[in-house]
Structure 1
Amino acid sequence: MTVDELRSRTMRAVQSKDTKPELIVRRLVHSLGFRFRLHRKNLPGSPDIVFPGRRKVIFVHGCFWHGHDCARGIRQPKTNADYWIAKVARNRDRDQRAQQLLSEGRWQTCVIWECELKDADALRRKLLVFLA
């Protein structure tokens, strides 16, 4: 298998929903006693977790894919860098547009970054404050 074939195979395996970080956040939210809906396609950005009665949504973002300013998010790819830089920029623009549209529709949004999963207590506090 060539390097390009291996990379292509790896990229095809990347999920857009039901990712490990998303499942961790869902389990935590559920354990806190909140009930929710998933991936509502009728809302901008198809939020990962939706609380319709509260008009609140949560996006669970991978640091690299959505351009977070943490160590993992600011990593620059070594190959095909121009493509990946543009791709992440498009993702960030799309995320910003979706959050703006949700705000205009009177929805509150919360973004949970993959790197935030390392501190369970801080994540729990963030979710409780947001969902209160």
Structure 2
Amino acid sequence: MDVQKKSFLRASGSKKTIVTSPSRSYNMSRIRSKNTKVEMLLRSALWAKNIRFRIHPDKVMGSPDIFIAKYRLVIFIDGDFWHGYNWAATRERLKSNKEFWIAKIERNMQRDEQVNLYFAEKGFTVMRFWEHQIKTRLKECVNQVMLYIESSKIGVIPNKE
């Protein structure tokens, strides 16, 4: 790929590179929405506990990261930035292209709510984990899924709150 970059000297004498549209586009294309590292962490931990599931089923609304039809469980792994974790603070820290990012992330948050309502109406339980939760507290996330599955086996679904 032919990446165009412009370099100039700052007043301090250090060099700064401005990323142009083609290279920014290339960088953004490298960001994955499926099979991310945190998703793979949770999936491999669940698989190790003998929890079997489908990933990204095509015919299911919202393309959940993990889908367990037997227990009517849908799991989403939300990226902290893309889905608005701590949105009030993050929103204020945005510097470039602020209007675009605010609109995009707020649309993602609205879509997340619509998907949650859809699955609730269909009788599914939706679990959403933030990427930082999986990175720092993977065992707790897995235990939450295990608790739900064990409870649903005996017919007692834990309270969602």
TM-score when normalising by structure 1: 0.89
Per-residue deviation, 1:130: 3.0
Asked if 1 retains the 8 angstrom alpha-carbon contact of 2:65 and 2:77, the reply is yes
Q: Give the count of matched residue pairs.
A: 131
Q: Which residue of 2 aligns with 1:126?
A: 144
| Residue identity (%) | 32
Per-residue deviation, 1:63: 0.5
* Aligned pair partner of 1:39 in 37, 52, 56: 56
Distance 2:138 2:127 in 1: 16
Distance 1:15 1:51 in 2: 23
* Aligned pair partner of 2:85 in 52, 68, 72: 68
Larger displacement relative to structure 2 (5-14 or 43-52): 5-14
Per-residue deviation, 1:129: 2.2
Larger Rg: 2
Q: Which residue of 2 aligns with 1:30?
A: 47
Moved runs in structure 1, 4+ residues, more than 6 A?
Answer: none
Q: Residue type matched to 2:74 in 1?
A: V
SS in 1 for 2:77: strand
User: Is it true that 1:97 corresponds to 2:107 in the alignment?
Assistant: no
Q: Which residue of 2 aligns with 1:12?
A: 29
Larger displacement relative to structure 2 (27-36 or 40-49): 40-49
**How much is the aligned-residue C-alpha RMSD, in angstroms?**
1.9
Distance 2:130 2:67 in 1: 17
Q: Which residue of 2 aligns with 1:48?
A: 65
Q: Which protein has greater RCO, CA pairs closer than 8 Å, 6+ apart? A: 1
Q: Residue type matched to 2:140 in 1?
A: A
* Structure 2: unaligned runs, 5 residues or longer: 6-18, 151-161
Per-residue deviation, 1:55: 0.8
Per-residue deviation, 1:74: 2.4
Asked if 1 retains the 8 angstrom alpha-carbon contact of 2:76 and 2:129, the reply is yes
Asked if 2 retains the 8 angstrom alpha-carbon contact of 1:44 and 1:99, the reply is no
Per-residue deviation, 1:112: 1.1
SS in 2 for 1:37: coil
Q: Residue type matched to 2:117 in 1?
A: Q
